[in-house]
Amino acid sequence: MPPANTTARNNTAAWPYPEGEPESGPEAEPMTPQNDIPFAEPVPDWPTAKITWGAAWEFNIYFTGAMFALLSVVALANMIQFARQVGLKSRWYFVALNFLMLLLGVVRTIFMFVDAYNSNGTFPAVLAYFFVSFAFPSLTSAFYILFTTLLKATKLENISPKIYDIKVLVGIISFNYIVALAGDLIAGLYFEGRVALLLCQSVFVIWGLVFSIAYFILFRRLYKKTVSSRKEMTRMSQKMHAGSKGVIAAQEQPRSKMSLGVKVTLLAAVFFLLISALNFYGMVSEFSVLTERTPEAWSWWAYQLTFRLCELGMAFTICFVASPFR
């Protein structure tokens, strides 16, 4: 990979707005306060970078945008189907989970299709930051809902019942979005806000590490619990309904789905860990909000595409586990 461009970024041409020099000459109008904001995450020189990328830029935009649109459709279909399942006790947990993925899909689709990465300066700074950071609270909250739902369903021993409490759930979700929105507002309105944005990134890196590692630790216990419960159910069914294979299969099916859900959630935890690692790398590398360097075009393109693919991988994995159609 070519070395990053070490040219300092122009403080008055900060992302989410494209870099460039103000007009010169007697007829040049003063820049608006919106464009005077000197703070932003580093981006490449847009006109040069787009020429360098060629079709790769279009692929980054339209492929990821289409996949986020598909995510929205899948999540909405899951919500509608769960809403019809009146007898399912945990259906509203899954409705809420899919609703978060629906929001993520819609927000990302708008951002990618209207003005990807705000390369043309279409969105105000605060709104552009909102579009970028929205994935962090959405994925974190969705994974927490899924994790606690699996813990509750398997009735794992030595787990505090407080983590299932609806007040705790609402509190954590609210905290995630408040932190993200606060960082967006501060970063979009004040130069000193870059420090606050860095703190917000740190919060979601910590959340990602805690939740993903916790799931790795508890995975064996969760999976063994579902397998042992399925075996016990099968043994009891064989005694009660000797020779009735249809009844046994019907009773095994929920536990079989739960075992699959526990295994697939492990993949979601892997994606979560990768997202946290990418976020941390962005805090300390040429993509940091504190850097004065302009990122090299291809390294920025690869970093952003990898980030979007990990977000999509985690989101689709969560939707699969929380799907009423499997």
Count CB-CB contacts under 10 A for residue 199. 13
| List of residues 6+ apart from 197 with CB closer than 8 A | 129, 183, 184, 186, 187, 289
Asked if 111 and 167 touch (Cβ cutoff 8 Å), the reply is no
- Rounded CA separation 116/21 (Å): 21
Cα distance from N-terminal residue to C-terminal residue, the chain: 42
Rounded to whole angstroms, the Cα distance separating 263 from 147 reads 12
Q: Residue 248: which pLDDT band, with cuts at 50, 70 and 90? A: very low
Segment among 7-21, 264-278, 305-319 with least mean pLDDT: 7-21
Mean pLDDT of 138-156: 92
- pLDDT band at residue 287 under the 50/70/90 scheme: confident
Q: State the DSSP code for 171.
A: H
pLDDT at residue 157 is higher than 90: no
- Mean pLDDT estimate for the chain: 82
How confident is residue 12, by pLDDT bands cut at 50, 70 and 90? Answer: very low
Pairwise pLDDT comparison (82 vs 233), residue with the higher score = 82
pLDDT in tens, 104-127: 999 999 999 999 999 998 998 889
Q: Which range (43-47, 79-83, 186-190, 249-253) has the least confidence?
A: 249-253
Indicate the pTM of the whole model. Answer: 0.82
pLDDT of residue 173: 95
d(CA 122, CA 270): 34
Q: Quick one: average pLDDT of 58-86?
A: 95
* Residue 30 scores a pLDDT above 80: no
Q: How far apart are CA 136 and CA 290, in angstroms?
A: 20
Give the confidence band of 197 by pLDDT, cuts at 50, 70, 90: confident
Tell me the mean pLDDT in the region 217-221: 92
DSSP 8-class letter at 268? H
Measured torsion, CA atoms of residues 298, 310, 96, 162, in degrees rounded to the nearest 10: -120
- Partnered with residue 99 across adjacent β-strands are none
pLDDT, position 3: 42
